[in-house]
Amino acid sequence: MTSYSAVETQWALTALANEDFSQIHTLCDVGGGHGHLACGLLNAYPHLQATVLDLPGVVGETDQLWAPKLGLSDRCRYLGGDMFHEVPPADAYVLKSVLHDWSDDECMRILANLRRAVVGAGRVFAADFVVPGPEEPHFSKLFDIHMMLVGTGRERTAAEFAELMGAAGWRYACGTGYRTLSTVSSPRLPPLVLRFGSAWSIGSVVCTRYRKGLWRR
């Protein structure tokens, strides 16, 4: 999984290359594992402080944690917890390959916890497969079947992501990325700007930003 995390981190950094992080000082990687993505963001944005939230058994694997290996322990803390119950305060949250693991109701619980805890800039960067229209072949459709077999999760369309986020009190801001995997290493190519969507997948590398919206109970 480390090699896959390294690929995903590079995708995320490429997709976020034009994002303004000047108003973000604290970031929480929710379900962030051993912190590979969080450390990548810390290297890219030296003013950031990060918290990696995952289950106690995950962050307790001290020999696997990336921050000590990369000399970033002074800017990255690991917190054992449960995103369904509580998340730490932060200016922004990252959800990478998290929402597709859970049902709509479970995602709502996670997103509502983020909405209650967020401070400052108030953003969520969500990255997941996005299912295109019925006539377009896409890996996300095969993976949707896989998710049906292993748990409560599912892959979602861009409209479904937008509805889910809106119901939890977040509003869509923008989606940026690169059209093919081969362009990830070619930052000279112009970024895509999507009306809705948040994904990186085979054939599509996109990161979507959501801002605080009107809280709906």
Lowest mean pLDDT among 23-37, 60-74, 78-92, 116-130: 116-130
pLDDT-derived band at 130 (thresholds 50, 70, 90) equals confident
Do the Cβ atoms of 114 and 140 come closer than 8 Å? no
Q: Is 100 an active-site residue?
A: yes
- Superfamily holding 2-212: Vaccinia Virus protein VP39 (3.40.50.150)
Q: Specify the range with the lowest mean pLDDT, choosing from 40-44, 85-89, 103-107, 211-215.
A: 211-215
Q: Is the pLDDT of residue 14 over 60?
A: yes
- Which secondary-structure segment (H or E) carries 7? helix 2-15
pTM for the full predicted model: 0.81
> Which class for 175: exposed (0-12), middle (13-18), buried (19 or more C-beta within 10 A)?
buried
In degrees, to the nearest 5, what angle opens at C-alpha 183 toward C-alphas 178 and 187? 80
Q: Read off the amino acid at residue 60.
A: G
Which member of 85, 100, 138, 146 is catalytic? 100
Give residue-wise pLDDT tens across range 34-85. Answer: 999 999 999 999 999 999 999 999 999 999 999 999 999 999 999 999 999 9
pLDDT the model gives residue 191: 29
pLDDT (mean) for 3-21: 79
